[in-house]
C-alpha cells in the first residue's frame, strides 16, 4: 500500500545517510528544557548586593556597558565568570570595522554587511551600527586604545573577507587584546563600578515577567550570591566550546543564552554558527586563529598539490565570505584526505610579516614554522555564534528589565553570516545604545525568590559529558548538515537532557547543563530551517529558499518555534552566499 501523503507542513527529504525521513515539523523539545531554575535556592538566606545596573560579562560589550552606565550616574556591578580579561574579545586578532577611511562610506559598509548576511540582516539595525561606528571608535581611541596609524591622524586599515575595501582598524594582529586591556584598566579605575571576578552566572531572577537580578555562584567561597538590579545586561559571549574544534576560550559555553532561555526570553537564529576558515591546525585547544587580515594582505590558500583553490569559486577568492571559504576548505580536505589545507604567506617577506603580524609570527615559530618559508597548516574552527538572545535595536530582550549585547545577542545585524570584524563593533555600539535606553526604564524590585527542590542524587562524568556534546556537535551540526545527521544528533543529545532534571551545584556541572541546553536548541534550530543560507548549510536542502525561509527563527521556552519577518535592507543581496 502506498504511504499516506505527508501533511502540508511536513516536507519529506532524501538524505545521503539514510532513507527518506520527515523534516523537523516543529518537533517538540525535551520536557527538561522547560525547567525554570537549575537548582534549589531561597534568596532570603543568601548574601545579597543591589545596584542600578548589573552587567554579566567583561568583553568589549560588558565593559562598554559598565563604563557607560557608571558615567550616566548609575551604580554598577560587573560579574564575570573568570578574570576580567579572559574573554572572546581578548582573542580577536583582526580588528574592528568602521567606515572611517578615504573612499569608504556608511552605505558601502551597510551594503557589504547585508550581502554577507545573505538576506537576513535587518536594515534598521545595520544602519544604526555602521552609522554610529565612527563616533564609537573615536571614543575608544580617547579611552586609550592605540590603533595602528599609517601617518599622523590617519588610521591604518586592513581589508578582510567580504569587505569591498580596507575598513578594519587594528593594533598589529592583537587588536582584541589591546581593546580588552585598555577597557579593563579604565573600568577598574572607574567610580561607581564594583567588579566581581570568578563568579558563575547560575540563573537570572524574575519577579512576574520582569528580570530583577541574578543568582551567582562563588566557587572560592562555595556560596550562592544574589545580585539584585533594576536592569540586567547580559554580555556573556558565545558558545564555541559546544564544538570539538574552536577558537573560543574554555569559558565560552553559552551560559548567558541558556540562562535567558530559562528566564523566558526569546532566542533566535541559533542555527547560524560561523566557522573561521583559518585556524592553525595544531594540537592546541582552543585553536590559534590566523587572522583574515593576512589573506587581506595577499596570503593564498593552497590544496595538497599547492594550487590555489578559491580562484573561480567566488569573485573575492580567498576573501570570500567565511561560510564560502570554510565549506570549500572542507571539500578540499576531503578530496586530499588531509586534516588541513595550506596558507601561503611566503611571498609577503619576513620583514613585513614580522612587523605587521607579530603574534602570528611568534605563534607559528613556537610550532616550528617559519611564516616566511613554510606553508602553514590551517582548517576551519567554530568561531562565532550569530544567533542568541533576541533583542531589538536598543538591546532589549523580550523579558522586561533584561538586555543583551555582543555575541550572546541576536540583533539582526549579521543576518545569516557575519561580516569579518563586525563583531567587536556590534558589542561596542549596542552597549552604548543600551545605556541610552536605560533612561526609559521603570524598575520594579523583588525582595525574595524561592526555587523548589529538585533531585540532587546524580553523579556525573563531566569530561565524558563535555566530550560527548562536542563530538555530536562537530560530527552532525558543523559546517555541513543533513536531516538524517541532525535527527541523529537530536536523539543523542536528548538522551543527555535528563541531567537537566537534577539540582547540581559545581560550576563545571552547571556549565555542562548549559551546554546540553544550548546544544539541543541549536540542533533543533538547524533541523527546523530546511534550506541552505549563509553559515547554515544543509546537504539535503542545498538551495536558498527566500519564499519560505527569509525569516528569523524564534524559540521560547514552552512555545513552538515561530518565524519572524526580516526588515529587508534597501540594497541588493543578489549573489549573496
Contact 493, 519 (CB under 8 A): yes
Beta bridge partners of 268: 388, 554
CA distances, 124 to each of 286, 392, 505 (Å): 35, 10, 42
Which residue is catalytic, options 167, 199, 295, 322? Answer: 322
HSE-CB of 290 using CA atoms within 13 angstroms = 30
Please give the DSSP secondary-structure letter assigned to residue 289. B
The dihedral of CA 331, 335, 341, 347: what is its sign? negative
| Angle formed by the axes of helices 507-528 and 483-494, nearest 10° | 150
User: Which cell goes with 486?
Assistant: 541532525
HSE-CB of 38 using CA atoms within 13 angstroms = 31
Contact 180, 491 (CB under 8 A): no
322 is catalytic: yes
| Cβ burial 505-522 (10 Å sphere, 16+ → b, else e) | bebebbbbbbbbbbbbbb
| Angle formed by the axes of helices 123-143 and 106-116, nearest 10° | 120
Per the document, the length of the chain is 577
- First-to-last C-alpha distance (Å) of the chain: 42
Rg (CA), the chain: 23
Angle at 206 (CA atoms; ends 204, 211), nearest 5 degrees: 75
Q: Residue 388 — φ and ψ, nearest 5°? A: 160, -145
User: Which cell goes with 139?
Assistant: 571614543
DSSP H stretches of helix in 214-346: 255-262, 292-296, 322-336
Q: Residue 23 — φ and ψ, nearest 5°? A: -65, 175
The dihedral of CA 103, 108, 110, 116: what is its sign? negative
Count other Cβ atoms within 10 Å, centred on residue 149.
Answer: 11
Count other Cβ atoms within 10 Å, centred on residue 223.
Answer: 11
- With DSSP H G I counted as helix, E B as strand and the rest as coil, what are the percentages for the chain, rounded to 5? 35, 25, 40
Beta bridge partners of 195: 78
CA distances, 6 to each of 1, 40, 549 (Å): 15, 44, 20
CA torsion angle 485 491 496 497 (round to 10): 120
Contact 13, 23 (CB under 8 A): yes
Please identify every residue annotated as catalytic: 322
Amino acid at each position: 500500500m502506498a504511504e499516506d501523503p505527508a501533511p502540508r507542513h511536513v516536507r519529506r527529504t532524501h538524505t545521503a545517510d539514510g532513507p527518506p525521513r520527515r523534516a523537523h515539523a516543529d518537533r517538540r523539545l525535551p520536557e527538561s528544557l522547560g525547567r525554570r531554575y537549575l537548582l534549589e535556592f531561597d534568596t532570603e538566606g543568601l548574601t545579597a548586593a543591589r545596584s542600578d545596573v548589573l552587567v554579566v560579562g567583561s568583553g568589549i560589550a560588558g565593559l562598554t556597558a559598565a563604563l557607560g552606565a557608571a558615567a550616566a550616574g548609575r551604580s554598577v556591578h560587573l560579574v564575570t565568570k573568570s578574570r576580567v580579561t579572559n574573554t572572546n574579545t581578548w582573542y580577536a586578532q583582526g580588528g574592528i570595522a568602521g567606515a572611517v577611511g578615504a573612499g569608504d562610506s556608511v552605505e558601502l559598509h551597510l551594503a557589504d554587511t547585508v550581502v554577507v548576511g545573505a538576506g537576513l540582516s535587518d536594515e534598521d539595525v545595520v544602519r544604526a551600527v555602521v552609522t554610529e561606528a565612527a563616533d564609537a571608535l573615536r571614543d575608544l581611541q580617547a579611552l586609550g586604545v592605540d590603533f595602528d596609524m599609517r601617518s599622523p591622524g590617519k588610521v591604518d586599515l586592513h581589508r578582510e573577507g567580504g569587505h569591498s575595501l580596507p575598513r578594519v582598524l587594528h593594533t598589529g594582529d592583537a587588536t582584541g587584546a589591546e581593546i580588552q586591556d585598555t577597557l579593563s584598566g579604565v573600568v577598574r579605575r572607574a567610580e561607581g563600578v564594583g567588579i566581581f571576578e570568578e563568579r558563575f552566572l547560575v540563573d537570572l531572577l524574575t519577579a512576574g515577567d520582569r528580570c530583577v537580578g541574578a543568582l551567582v555562584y562563588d566557587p572560592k567561597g562555595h556560596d550562592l550570591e544574589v545580585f539584585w538590579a533594576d536592569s540586567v545586561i547580559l554580555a556573556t559571549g558565545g558558545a564555541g566550546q559546544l564544538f570539538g574544534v574552536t577558537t573560543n576560550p574554555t569559558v565560552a559555553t553559552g551560559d548567558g543564552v541558556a540562562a535567558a532561555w530559562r528566564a523566558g526570553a526569546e532566542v533566535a537564529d541559533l542555527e547560524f554558527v560561523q566557522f573561521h576558515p583559518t585556524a592553525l591546525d595544531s594540537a592546541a585547544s582552543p585553536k590559534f586563529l590566523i587572522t583574515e587580515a593576512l589573506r587581506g594582505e595577499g596570503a593564498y590558500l593552497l590544496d595538497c598539490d599547492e594550487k590555489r583553490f578559491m580562484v573561480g569559486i567566488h569573485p573575492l577568492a580567498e576573501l570570500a565570505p567565511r561560510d564560502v571559504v570554510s565549506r570549500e576548505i572542507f571539500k578540499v580536505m576531503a578530496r586530499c584526505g588531509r586534516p588541513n589545507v595550506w596558507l601561503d604567506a611566503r611571498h609577503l617577506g619576513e620583514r613585513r610579516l614580522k612587523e605587521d603580524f607579530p603574534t602570528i609570527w611568534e605563534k607559528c615559530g613556537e610550532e616550528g614554522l617559519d611564516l616566511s618559508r613554510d606553508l602553514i597548516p590551517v582548517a576551519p574552527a567554530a568561531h562565532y555564534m550569530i544567533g542568541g538572545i533576541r533583542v531589538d535595536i536598543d538591546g532589549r530582550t523580550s523579558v522586561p528589565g533584561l538586555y543583551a549585547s555582543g555575541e550572546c545577542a541576536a540583533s539582526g545585524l549579521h543576518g545569516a553570516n557575519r561580516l569579518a570584524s563586525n563583531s567587536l563593533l556590534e558589542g561596542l555600539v549596542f552597549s552604548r545604545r543600551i545605556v541610552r535606553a536605560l533612561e526609559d526604564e521603570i524598575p520594579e524590585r523583588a525582595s525574595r525568590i524561592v526555587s523548589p527542590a529538585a533531585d540532587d542524587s546524580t553523579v556525573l562524568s563531566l569530561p565524558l559529558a563535555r566530550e560527548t556534546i562536542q563530538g555530536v556537535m562537530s560530527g552532525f551540526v558543523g559546517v555541513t548538515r543533513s536531516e538524517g545527521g541532525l535527527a541523529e544528533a537530536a536523539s543523542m543529545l536528548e538522551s543527555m537532557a535528563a541531567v537537566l532534571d537534577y539540582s547540581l551545584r559545581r560550576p563545571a556541572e552547571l556549565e555542562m547543563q548549559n551546554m546540553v541546553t544550548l546544544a539541543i536548541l541549536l540542533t533543533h534550530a538547524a533541523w527546523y530551517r530546511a534550506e541552505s543560507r549563509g553559515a547554515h548549510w544543509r546537504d539535503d536542502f542545498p538551495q536558498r529558499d527566500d519564499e519560505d525561509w527569509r525569516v528569523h527563527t524564534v524559540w521560547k521556552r514552552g512555545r513552538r518555534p515561530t518565524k519572524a519577518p526580516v526588515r529587508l535592507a534597501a540594497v541588493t543581496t543578489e549573489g549573496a552566499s
